[in-house]
Amino acid sequence: AQKVTQAQTEISVVEKEDVTLDCVYETRDTTYYLFWYKQPPSGELVFLIRRNSFDEQNEISGRYSWNFQKSTSSFNFTITASQVVDSAVYFCALSGVTDKLIFGTGTRLQVFP
Amino acid sequence: KAGVTQTPRYLIKTRGQQVTLSCSPISGHRSVSWYQQTPGQGLQFLFEYFSETQRNKGNFPGRFSGRQFSNSRSEMNVSTLELGDSALYLCASSLGQGAGRSYNEQFFGPGTRLTVL
């Protein structure tokens, strides 16, 4: 069975702090995809990144970076120098051979000025 | 290019009623997926339609159904509404290529917030 665990329910930081959101996944598929989505108060899910199971290269996009480690089945997301606009709920998700997304329970990030 | 649109954005119904939600995918996208988001259960996959056929289905009772039209627009219907059906219903569209494809990026709409009283 596929499963995504985001153990951190809520994180509060002060602006400019770095913050890491944890994601651990379970799957028996050899080919799979991992995602991070951001959900602002408006409700729409905003795509941030996708990685496939064969590409363990870490990625950096501006203040965002992702650390994918198959050995620990983790796909963690770090925001450097957080900003108030980063406040949202962040979801980690997993997909196998179909496009069906299995979401974690989300981590609510609050960034205070 | 216009994004995924969902109508209505907000809806209030009473128990026992039925409801139909609509989703218009991005132009050229042939796959539409539906998700339910509740505080208790989180984001859960309902079903996916591709070329007017249901291609994938989540673990929801038969009261939840959907369909897709030839223009790829999709509707989902919930009959005999229960209080627990109160949720944000999200629709996502993708190109949805055939079997053996690599992953198709899914683009989400703003959702329909359904409240059942």
Mapped onto helix, strand or coil, the DSSP state of residue B83 is helix
Question: Would you place residue A38 in the very low, low, confident or very high pLDDT band (cuts 50, 70, 90)?
Answer: very high
Residues of B in contact with A106 (CB under 8 A): 42-43
pLDDT at position B93: 92
pLDDT at position A59: 84
Q: For B108, which of A44, A99, A105 is closest by C-beta distance?
A: A44
Residue A102 has pLDDT above 80, yes or no: yes
Average pLDDT rounded to a whole number, residues A12-35: 95
Average pLDDT rounded to a whole number, residues A3-21: 97
Give the whole-angstrom CA distance, residue A36 versus residue B98. Answer: 24
Per CB distance under 8 Å, which residues of A are interface residues toward B? 33, 37, 42-47, 50, 52, 91, 93, 95, 98-106
pLDDT at position A1: 81
- Number of cross-chain residue pairs from A and B with Cβ atoms under 8 Å apart: 59
Residue type, B33: S
Is A105 in contact with B42 (Cβ distance < 8 A)? yes
Q: How far is B3 from chain A (nearest CA, A)?
A: 11
Question: Would you place residue A43 in the very low, low, confident or very high pLDDT band (cuts 50, 70, 90)?
Answer: confident
Question: CB of B60 within 8 Å of any CB in chain A?
Answer: no
Give the whole-angstrom CA distance, residue A99 versus residue B98. Answer: 11
Structure tokens at A91: 């979801």
pLDDT at position B1: 64
User: Which is nearest to A34 in space by CA: A23, A44, A45, A19?
Assistant: A23
Low-confidence ranges of chain B (pLDDT < 70): 1, 97-103
Q: For B56, which of A44, A50, A98 is closest by C-beta distance?
A: A98
